[in-house]
Amino acid sequence: MNKWKMKFFVGLLLVLSIIIVGCSGQSSSKDGSSGQENSKTSKSTKSDDNSPKAGGEVVVATPGDVINLDPILSTSGNDYPFVWAVYDTLVKYNADLEPQPALAESWEFPDDKTIIFHLRKGVKFHDGTDFDAEAVKFNIERANSEKSLIPDLRHVESVEVVDSHTVKLHLSVPNASILLALTERPGLMASPTAIEKYGEDFQNHPVGTGPFKFVSRVPNGEIVFEKFDDYWKKGEPYIDKLTFKIMQEETTRINALKSGDVDIIEAISPFSVDSLKGDSKIKLEQPKSSHRSKGIVFNASKPPFDNLKFRQALTHAINREEIAKTLSNGYGEPLYQLFPNDFWAADPDLKIKYDPEKAKQLLKESGIKNPSFTMLVSSQDFYEPMFSDIITQQLSEVGIEVKTETMEGTAAYHKMWTEKNAQAFSSGTAGKPDPHLLLEIWAIKESFFNAGDQSTEELDNLILQANSTNDQAERAKIYHKIDRIIALDEVVNNIPVMSVPIIYGLDKKVHGFEPNGLGKSNYNSLWIEQ
């Protein structure tokens, strides 16, 4: 057995033993009581039907803290559970990733460069101010301002207020992704009054129209939200309080769920599933497919990644099949492109052969002597350090030295993308409901996650072309060309390696949760059954 395989299974046995030991004691409720009704659910009403019940608190254990609670500064897929609690979007999507009404009750396209939104009436922000067309104009223009990190609405040329609850967007080019863009950060509606009041400190005082009001945050500790009594969806939210506990270690999250200290845990690894299946108080939830990936991202402006031949050598030096088989326990699969294998925009014929000899030849052609780089590793990622150990081993076999630097996840994130002060990061991607939205942040020059601004004129033109038609079959053909440019010809800034399973653990008394295949959890419709 290879050295890294032996290390993996020894580490796995250690994790499982910790879980077993940690759960051997007597369970206790969050309030420390024993054999009495938990105060967390004491306000819930009982009934014999399966309709949602009002009251109580849900506590979610998540591995990472929020990057930013200001919509235009939020850049991580892990931020969505937090921002969706506070802010509603203009549009939402269903399980099939199709646009549905939200704050916008309906819309129409008078032509291919104009969209008119008819807004919901009677909606209030948490500060008591009205949600209206002026608020929409303010938020969209703010999302397109120089301070914003959101590129998705850059083709919105102007925003016109037609009347108090009708707004018209004028586009510079036809935009097939515009509705689904407004289901994400660009569509999050924040209070203009609160933004003007708090200025740059708005992230610490977020105000939206969402089901929950922000209460408090302890960085890397917890974030607390409480029910917004004037929420426009009558009867919602069902729970009185939503609390997120930041627990980086998976073992800690699992033990907290088993002991009753939390109600939901995120990011369950494939090798921990069996330890939870036998618990009668816990249920597991998983979407049909996963749009989350694990791989290597890098800054293509920093040596040695500024050398195309070197980037191509990396692509062929990684044995994706072996990594997926070893780390996903049958729940994941190898990836060769930015899009998930079952996504309509993915090229089904694109496979990158593991070919160490070709990698060595490309390294020779690169002219780089003694190639090496340092890769950031997140301390809260289950797949680390085994993923980075395997990558290090595989690349060493073709003559590339990899050094690793382990950091807390948020710190690593900032070093890689905010500061652009790292060569590479053992990270990955969260999903997007439309392929253009993924390319906007990863592939287009000067987009946030394209740390080295690596692109080509051909690539940018193809991305624009694919987003200019609503014919999905035609779009797919163009995306197949884009896939190959990114994965083989130019290797922009991301080498996908494997899909990451999205698995949640829930206390069985928690209902109303629907797992999200994009890896973006939404807890707004939860309710508790005694």
Tens-place pLDDT, residues 104-138: 999 999 999 999 999 999 999 999 999 999 999 99
3-state secondary structure of 512: coil
Closest CA to 312 of 362, 364, 356: 362
Ranges for all domains in the chain classified under CATH 3.40.190.10: 53-87+210-287+502-530
- What is the mean predicted confidence (pLDDT) over 477-487? 94
Tokens 């000067």 identify what position? 446
- With 80 as the cut, is the pLDDT of residue 310 above it? yes
At residue 290, the pLDDT reads: 82
Least confident among 16-25, 136-145, 251-260 = 16-25
Please report the pLDDT score of residue 150 as a whole number.
86
What whole-number distance in Å separates Cα of residue 485 and Cα of residue 492? 8
> Residue 49's pLDDT band (boundaries 50, 70, 90)?
low
| Sign of the four-CA dihedral 192, 197, 198, 204 | negative
1.10.287.3510, 3.40.190.10, 3.30.565.10, 1.10.1200.10: CATH of 53-87+210-287+502-530:
3.40.190.10
The CATH label, of 3.40.1710.10, 2.60.40.60, 3.90.76.10, 3.20.20.60, for the domain at 95-146+154-192 is 3.90.76.10
Q: Which residues pair with 59 in a beta bridge?
A: 243
Report whether pLDDT(12) > 70. Answer: no
Q: How far apart are CA 294 and CA 291, in angstroms?
A: 10
Helical H segments across 367-417, by residue range? 386-396, 409-413
How does pLDDT run across 208-243, given as a tens digit for each residue? 999 999 999 999 999 999 999 999 999 999 999 999
pLDDT at 492: 66
Model confidence, pTM: 0.81
> Quick check: 352 pLDDT over 80?
yes
Question: What is the assigned CATH class of domain 293-499?
Answer: alpha beta
Round to whole Å and give the CA distance between 518 and 516.
5
- Label each residue of 343-362 as H, E or C: CCCCCCCCCCCCCHHHHHHH
- In this prediction, residue 491 carries a pLDDT of 66
Question: Looking at per-residue confidence, does 57 or 331 come out higher?
Answer: 57
Confidence band of 68 (pLDDT split at 50, 70, 90): very high
- For residue 528, the SS3 value is strand
CA angle 360, 294, 83 (to 5 degrees): 145
The answer to whether the beta carbons of residues 107 and 90 sit under 8 Å apart is: no
Work out the percent of the chain whose per-residue pLDDT is above 90.
Answer: 68
Say if strands 57-62 and 264-265 run parallel, antiparallel, or are unpaired.
Answer: parallel
Residue extent(s) of CATH 3.10.105.10 domains in the chain: 293-499
